[in-house]
Amino acid sequence: MKTNLHRYLALLLCALTTLITTPLSANPLQMINVADNVYALIGPMEQRSPDNLANNANFGFIVSDQGVLLIDSGGTLAGAKDIERQIRTITDKPITLVINTGGQDHRWFGNSYFAALGADTLTSVQTQADQTARGDNQSDSTSRLTGDSWNGTDPQPAQQTISANKSLTFGDTQIQIIPVGPAHTGGETLVWLPQHKLLFSGDTVYLDRMLGIGGQSQHLNWLAAFATIDALNPTTIIPGHGMPADLAKAQKETRDYLTLLRTEVSKLIEDGADMEDATNIDQSAYSYLKVYDSLHKRNALRVYEEMEWE
């Protein structure tokens, strides 16, 4: 009897320890097989939380005989482990390369975990510079929003950089890594799979939820970055946030939205209106997007702020 009780307590302790060291995600990533050997992991669209492990974004991975290429590494250590767990339902090959598409937390805070497993970490020079410049600030806010799920997170910028487009072949999959400069963050990087006409856009494209123009964003260059996507003419886009879709939807919800703000703000500036007037711009055509209420006025103010200096 006593032995049974001890065994029970030992099991209970073991289960509790597992729960404490590996917080379980209440918002598991949704896996979609988007092409041969290519998978998208679709995260929730809400703000970072202890439950979503700051994986409130999309990720992707490509499988070959030699290993796995991961696109973006998660917003916390627990988030990185959750991504790995999903990959392990498909393959036991080692994760050999991580590409970061941007400088925002969920793109790269899991880098050190995958590097310790033996992966190289790669991004563009501008994305790495943004990671380095804003890493501490983002650690402060993400740790606050994720509570205990932050435990053990050690943000490490990508260790390898490219300064121009780079092509590589990973198993049967051709990949182009395309730096597009500042957009949502100080440096965004696209991952293009020409055989499938499939684009992992990172935060250059937001779908189904309102994009965010923050203090680090540059909306004019964002439109230039989107022109690169127009030229690629993808069949499918895995956006930074939201469900995969075609180019027309991305044009509407990202490019045309930025253009609307730019057009309306430039009218206000010509008319000598104040910055506050930008909050009255009619954005109701986009009110169906998630988190519209919390972001649309700030977006207009940010565009005004930027355009004042053009």
Interactions with Zn ion, residue window 188-207 (CB under 5 A):
203
Q: CB under 5 A: which stretch of 2-10, 101-109, 168-176, 300-308 binds Zn ion?
A: 101-109
Shortest distance in whole angstroms from residue 107 CB to Zn ion: 7
What's the burial of 222, exposed, middle or buried (CB within 10 Å: 0-12/13-18/19+)?
buried
Q: Quick check: 254 binds Zn ion (CB under 5 A)?
A: no
Q: CB under 5 A: which stretch of 9-17, 51-59, 230-238, 270-278 binds Zn ion?
A: 51-59
Shortest distance in whole angstroms from residue 100 CB to Zn ion: 12
Q: CB under 5 A: which stretch of 12-20, 52-60, 80-88, 186-194 binds Zn ion?
A: 52-60
- Closest CA relative to residue 249, chosen from 262, 263, 236: 236
- Sequence-distant (6+) residues with CB within 8 A of 188 are 101, 102, 127, 179, 180, 181, 182, 202, 203, 204, 225
3-class secondary-structure state, position 36: coil
Which residue's CB is nearer to Zn ion, number 130 or number 203? 203
Shortest distance in whole angstroms from residue 260 CB to Zn ion: 21
Interactions with Zn ion, residue window 262-301 (CB under 5 A):
none
Interactions with Zn ion, residue window 212-241 (CB under 5 A):
240
Across 240-271, b (16+ Cβ under 10 Å) vs e yields bbbbbbebebbbebbbebbebbbebbeebbee
Edge-to-edge strands, sheet with 188-193: 166-170, 173-181, 188-193, 198-206, 236-241
Shortest distance in whole angstroms from residue 112 CB to Zn ion: 19
Which residue's CB is nearer to Zn ion, number 107 or number 255? 107
Strand-pair category, 173-181 with 166-170? antiparallel
Q: Quick check: 57 binds Zn ion (CB under 5 A)?
A: yes
Residues touching Zn ion, count (CB under 5 A): 4
Report d(CA 271, CA 51) in Å as an integer: 47
Report d(CA 85, CA 101) in Å as an integer: 21
User: Per-residue string for binding with Zn ion, 11-50, x by CB under 5 A?
Assistant: ----------------------------------------
Question: Using an 8 Å Cβ cutoff, are 174 and 160 in contact?
Answer: no
Interactions with Zn ion, residue window 110-149 (CB under 5 A):
none
Q: CB under 5 A: which stretch of 33-41, 54-62, 137-145, 284-292 binds Zn ion?
A: 54-62
Report d(CA 108, CA 128) in Å as an integer: 10
Q: CB under 5 A: which stretch of 60-68, 98-106, 256-264, 294-302 binds Zn ion?
A: 98-106
Two tokens at 156? 């490490």
Question: Using an 8 Å Cβ cutoff, are 179 and 102 in contact?
Answer: no
Two tokens at 194? 């020409």
Q: Quick check: 104 binds Zn ion (CB under 5 A)?
A: yes
Shortest distance in whole angstroms from residue 276 CB to Zn ion: 27
The amino acid occupying position 275 is M
Shortest distance in whole angstroms from residue 104 CB to Zn ion: 4
Which residue's CB is nearer to Zn ion, number 182 or number 240? 240
Which residue's CB is nearer to Zn ion, number 67 or number 187? 187
Q: Quick check: 105 binds Zn ion (CB under 5 A)?
A: no
| Contact residues for Zn ion, defined by CB under 5 A | 57, 104, 203, 240
